[in-house]
Structure 1
Amino acid sequence: MLDMNTLLGIVALASLSSHVISGQQCECPASMCPDGWVTFRGSCYYVSDNVSVDWTEATHHCTAHHAELITIQNADEDKFIRSLLERYYRTGGQHPGQEFWIGANDLMIEGVWEWYTDNSSLEYSGWYPGQPGSEGDEDCAVIASRSDVFNGWHDAPCAAKHHPICEISPRQTIDQIIG
């Protein structure tokens, strides 16, 4: 017998497959995002504040949710994510110094930042001034809260424990989501 979450997931995927032909890009309107996710310009986002994991575990966590660690493509998406984090985490001065994993790293070549999903270079970046730093072991990227705002991307040690931000993007196909 299926539990309720599995049944709801099957219903959501069946609904999604009726709107998208297999192999085509997935547009995720608010009605198509899983519960607890938010939508912006065709993508669904989930801030996993119930887990604190290293960067590699963050990628696996998102995969387990049929998503990827977020890849931020432009200033509008960056602003949306920062404002989302502000709404979630700045109430009453909560979580100063909080950091959230994004999908950028320079693991292959020091100083050459890429998105892990396709090894493409960052066409847009939201680095905080002076970032990424020159620390040798800071090879993974976070959106960080400094003082009272989420003010930009920082490089961080990949082994550090932070919360992942997962994304189901229009780049993903229905095959990838159910795959």
Structure 2
Amino acid sequence: MKTSLALLFVVTLLIPGIKAVCCNDSWIPHNGHCYYIGYGTPLTFSAAQVYCHDRGAYLVRLDTLAENTFLKDLLKKTNAGNTWMGLTDRTHEGIWRWYDTNSHATFSDWGPGEPNSYGNRNDDCVHFYKSVDYKWNDSGCHNKFTPLCEKN
């Protein structure tokens, strides 16, 4: 075991761009981050935030299009349902920010006609929408979806 860890350490030092990450059981490693899908745990947006926080994580924050693509592919492969991410416009309508950092989203992957606050509702929270190939959809924060947690 010590030999394997030492070898991993040496390889990560010698090969630029490789990020070693050790994720706990049930967490999925990717590019220096760990992801956890809370299957069977439909929660409101606020409860999903707490759920991730209790695991030392936060609702997923998408920093790059490549990360978004990776997560969409993961959700498709696992046939996950609608899944929360940490994007919201609760503070200012139409200004989408990541709840954990208050930073603006640097790109988007909205489904057709989104965001739309459907039916003149106050849809302030965003999830991956299974019915539209896991593109982003704004939804009421009171709806219950699967949490997708991230830590690094």
User: For the superposition of Structure 1 and Structure 2, which TM-score range results when normalised by the shorter chain?
Assistant: 0.7 to 0.9
Q: Deviations over 1:81-131 (max 9, x none)?
A: 000001101xxxxx6xx3100000000011110000111111122111211
Match of 2:54 in 1: 64
| Percent identity over paired residues | 30
Q: For the structure 1 residues 157 and 41, does the alpha-carbon distance in structure 2 shift closer, same or farther, using more than 3 Å as the test? A: same
Distance in 2 between the 1:28 and 1:40 partners? 9
Moved over 3 A (4+): none
CA RMSD of superposed structures (Å): 1.8
Which residue among 130, 133, 138 is the counterpart of 1:145? 130
- The residue aligned with 1:177 is none
SS of 1:146's equivalent in the other structure is helix
Within 2, Cα distance between the matches of 1:87 and 1:28?
24
Counterpart amino acid of 2:106?
Answer: E
Q: Which amino acid aligns with 1:100?
A: T
For residues 20 and 77 of structure 2, what CA distance do their matches in structure 1 show? 22
Q: Work out the CA distance in 2 between the residues paired with 1:28 and 1:109.
A: 38
Q: How has the CA–CA distance of structure 1 residues 49 and 28 changed in structure 2, closer, same or farther, with 3 Å as cutoff?
A: farther
1:165 & 1:53 partners in 2: Cα distance?
11
TM-score computed with the length of structure 1 as normaliser: 0.70
Aligned partner of 1:39 among 29, 32, 44: 29
Residues 101 and 28 of structure 1: is their aligned pair in 2 closer, same or farther, counting only changes over 3 Å? farther
Q: Is 1:128 matched up with 2:111?
A: yes
